[in-house]
Amino acid sequence: IVQVWALHALALIADCGGQMFRSYVEPSLALILHLLLSVSPSQSDVFQCCGRLLGALIITIGPELQTNTNYISILRSSCL
């Protein structure tokens, strides 16, 4: 239960912080990955909160993903 509330709070902070949260995106992604690999599948609420946090992180870095720089184009094509 503590993990769920901590992830919920972190997602709210990422949502409200916007661009000020950019320096915490990478550690937050590492946390999500760690939780996805270590939490038992029966704890679906943790997975839902990881999804909410991931959505907030995407919104935080969203404007940077919309630029047409060469680096972003390479990243987009590697995801396809």
Give the CA angle between residues 51, 54, 55 to the nearest 5°.
Answer: 85
Question: How far apart are the C-alpha atoms of 80 and 2, rounded to whole Å?
Answer: 36
Question: How far apart are the C-alpha atoms of 34 and 57, rounded to whole Å?
Answer: 16
φ and ψ of 24, to 5 deg? -105, 5
The residue assigned the tokens 């661009």 is 19
Q: How does pLDDT run across 27-63, given as a tens digit for each residue?
A: 998 999 999 999 998 999 999 999 999 889 888 887 6
Q: How does pLDDT run across 58-80, given as a tens digit for each residue?
A: 888 876 666 666 766 776 676 55
Tally of domains in the chain: 1
pTM of the model: 0.74
* Domain range for 25: 2-79
